[in-house]
Structure 1
Amino acid sequence: MPIAARAFAAVAADKPLEPYRFDRRDPGADDVAIEIKYCGVCHSDLHIARNDLGGTRYPVVPGHEIAGVVTAVGGNVSRFKVGDRVGVGCMVDSCRTCPACQEGEEQYCVPGMTQTYGSADPLGEPVGQSITQGGYSDRITVNQDFVLRIPDSLPLDAAAPLLCAGITTWSPLRHWNVGEGSKVAVVGLGGLGHMAVKLAHAMGAEVTVLSTSDRKKADAERMGAKHFLINSDKAAMKAAAEKFDLIINTVSATHEIAGHLNLLARDGTMVMLGLTTEPMPVFAMPLLWRRRSVAGSLIGGIRETQEMLNFCAEHGIACDIETIAPDQINEAYARMEKSDVRYRFVIDMARMN
Structure 2
Amino acid sequence: MSMKTFYAEEQKKHDPKMFLSSGAPQPNPEKPERIERLLAGAKAAGCEIVRPRDHGLKPIAAIHTPEYLEFLQNIFLRWQRIEDASQEVIPNIHPLARTGRYPASAVGQAGYHMADTACPISADTWGSACWSAWSAVEAAEAVMAGARHTYALCRPPGHHAFADVAGGFCFLNNSAIAAQHMLQSSKRVAILDIDLHHGNGTQGIFYGRNDVLTVSLHADPVRFYPFFWGHADERGEGLGLGYNFNLPLPRRTADAGFLEALDAANRRIEAYAPDALVVALGLDAFEGDPFGGLSVSTQGFARIAEAIGRLGLPTVIIQEGGYLCDELGDNLTSFLTGFGH
TM-score, L = length of structure 1: 0.37
Higher helix share: 2
TM-score of the superposed pair, with normalisation by structure 2: 0.38
**Larger strand fraction of residues:** 1
